Structure 1
Amino acid sequence: MSFKNLLVYRFEEPIKDSLSTVEEKLSEKPLTACLTQEMESVGWLPVFKEGKQYVEKINNALFFRLGIEQKILPNSAVKTAVDKKIEEKDLKHVSRSEMKELHELVTNELLPHALVNRHSILAYIDLEKNWLVVDASSTKKASLVTSHLRKTLGSLPIVPLTPENSVNAALTHWALHGIQSDVLSMLDEIELKEVKDEGGNAKFKGVALNSKEVQDPLKEGWQVTKVMLEYDEQISFSMSGDFIFKRLKFLERFEENLESEDDPLLQIQAELYLAIDLYRRVVQNVYDLTNSAK
């Protein structure tokens, strides 16, 4: 149940709702099945499949899960049905307004029979760091959580946690001069972009960062746009200019600290307890180093 991504927001003021209040508010807006003519339904789910709680407090963090149900209605299927309608009605010239009406008619006919896909997004409020952390690889996906959480709680005074310095500039500096850190290191997977109109791109994997292939473009002014990083030999992740921690992967050193539990729920909670501490250190460390890069 570990996070695949960390997209972090900072609360502009500490959250005032208690655990019981947040639990109550979320439980009042659960995910319900899509109605016959609905394309999408959004609501809260219990944090763990094995549990019933809409909020779980672990290591001073409040975990919650947003559920999304979406009808699968491909554009190609709608277009085919519209074309059939046109043939059936023997329409020779279809105006824009008539085409719009046909699309709406066909969509309404197909919706009740469309397949439904359900997925969820895990997130937590870190009471210690005053952060909201979403397992999302883009702000668009994260906005599903933030907008629904704002509606549920009544307010959500957050701003993205982004360094003052350019992230890409910091990544480029590290690739050229190394990272002044005992815990953070760059791995041999990097993407570069030529900083000019219609500039080139280059991707390297398994090629040493101090090699001529990587260093020559950097010395010519190319910029790092994405790189794999490793923190304290415990976790690896991808970092780019949006300051979203992606492709998170626990490493052997972290897994060695996990104790085996007979109860699957206790196992998940134990992993999340340790993960929270690690996420706090990783995000803060990369944030501080980015701001200190010259």
Structure 2
Amino acid sequence: MWFKNLQIYRISEGYDLNLATLSDALAEQAFTPCSQQEMTKSGWVSPLGKHATELAHVAQNAALITLRKEEKVIPAAVLRDMVEDKAQQIEAAEERRVYRKEKEQMKEEILFECLPRALRKSRRTHALIDLELGLIIVDASSPARAEELITLLRQTLGSLPLSLMQYEYSPAVQMTEWVAGNNLPDVWALEHECELRESGEDGAIIKCKRHDLACEEIQQHLQAGKQVVQLALNWQQQLTFLLTHEGHIKRLGFGDELKQEAQDSGGDQLALLDSEFALMTLTLRRFLPDLAQALGGHKAEAV
């Protein structure tokens, strides 16, 4: 249940998202497996897995939803070999050369034949819809994966005006200041990891792990003009995370005390998941405003 990555979207002011009817809306796009001839399929499943049937877990003016995506796996190398084998058979039997256009047609035919027998893999992507903060937070390591969920959510709801979270200050500039020893908020602490980069596409990149960021070596790199583009931070001894220059959160870790508090809630697995969801939501409601303040506040939406 604990999110590991945060891709953050702001819900446009004035948009009314009704959590009471969200589960019913999601049911219109509920997940069903790929048919024999489908390569991929996406849909909504219960965020609490087998422990519940509702497609949206709603509490505290927030909702947890889950996208499931299923794909059939046909390795490109295997498909290429099958095409070459068939082309060689035709060339030997008909004494002619098989060219690229015909091979492309063979590829489509072989792919169609293989789909019913292809292995399947699936993945789940979770999102927190928090109406108190006016945010949708997707637990995804990349913007592309987050957009898969957001795209289907827009299709499901009919409309959903969102914008990726942006801040008034450049995260790279702020992180560079913090590593240089300036303006780090009181409730934050540097961990021992960062990535430094020179300007320009071909600029040098230095990755530091388990390293004292206040040491002279790091400070010399900053004085030479390198910027911090990723930085490991600690917030109130409750969260550890990696902040990127785009403002995304990676490798989010919730503290042991929070996890123990969830465990102490007792009850069955469903009660544990509900407790984790509540504690995660309340923690993010304190952390994300602090993050925004440290980065100069939310950038105003273009009018």
TM-score, normalization by structure 1: 0.95
Equivalent position of 1:278 in the other structure: 283
Write out per-residue CA displacement over residues 206-253 of structure 1, whole angstroms, 9 at most, x where no aligned residue. 211110121110011111011111111001011111211110111234
State the one-letter code of the partner of 1:82: V
Match of 1:143 among 139, 147, 151: 147
What is the CA–CA distance in structure 2 between the aligned matches of 1:43 and 1:253, rounded to whole Å?
35
Distance in 1 (CA, whole Å) between partners of 2:48 and 2:280 is: 16
Q: How does 1:56-205 map to 2 (within 5 A)?
A: 56-90=57-91, 92-196=96-200, 198-205=202-209
SS of the residue aligned with 1:43?
A: strand
Q: Distance in 2 between matches of 1:230 and 1:179?
A: 15
Q: Which amino acid aligns with 1:142?
A: A
Deviations 1:8-49 (A, max 9, x none): 100113442422321111012111110111110011101211
Determine the C-alpha separation between the residues in 1 that align with 2:14 and 2:249: 24
Deviation at 1:185, TM superposition (A): 1.5
CA distance in 1 between partners of 2:67 and 2:115 (Å):
23
For residue 177 of structure 1, give the secondary structure of its aligned residue in structure 2. coil
Distance in 1 (CA, whole Å) between partners of 2:257 and 2:237 is 6
Q: Which moved more, 1:20-29 or 1:190-199?
A: 190-199
The answer to whether the Cα contact below 8 Å between 1:233 and 1:253 also exists between their aligned partners in 2 is no
Matched, 1:247 2:248: no
Cα distance in structure 2, aligned partners of 1:159 and 1:273: 25
Partner of 2:301: none
Distance 1:179 1:74 in 2: 50
Alignment partners' CA distance in 1, 2:9 and 2:230: 21
Offset at residue 146 of structure 1 (A): 0.7
- Displacement of 1:145 in angstroms is 0.5
TM-score normalised to structure 2 length: 0.92
Alpha-carbon distance in 1 for matches of 2:81, 2:59: 50
Deviates more, 1:253-262 or 1:48-57: 253-262
Deviations 1:156-192 (CA, angstroms, capped at 9, x unpaired): 1000111122111111111112443221121111111
Give how far 1:95 is off.
2.6
Whole-Å Cα distance in 2 between the matches of residues 61 and 15 of structure 1? 15
Note if contact 1:14-1:130 (Cα within 8 Å) is conserved in structure 2.
Answer: no
Contact 2:265-2:275 within 8 A present in 1 as well: no
Deviation sequence 1:100-150 (CA, Å, 0-9, x none): 101101111111110011111111210101111111111100111111000
Once the two structures are aligned, what percentage of the paired residues are identical?
Answer: 30
Instruction: State the number of aligned residues.
Output: 292
The CA RMSD measured in Å over matched residues stands at 1.5
Residue 31 (str. 1) matches residue 31 (str. 2): yes
Unpaired runs of 5+ residues, structure 1, are none
Shift, 1:199, TM fit: 1.8
Q: Is the 8 A contact 1:45 1:54 kept in 2?
A: yes
CA distance in 1, matches of 2:274, 2:228: 37
1:263-274 equivalences in 2 (<5 Å): 263-274=268-279
Shift of 1:260: 3.6
Give the distance between the partners of 1:255 and 1:69, measured in 2 at CA: 31
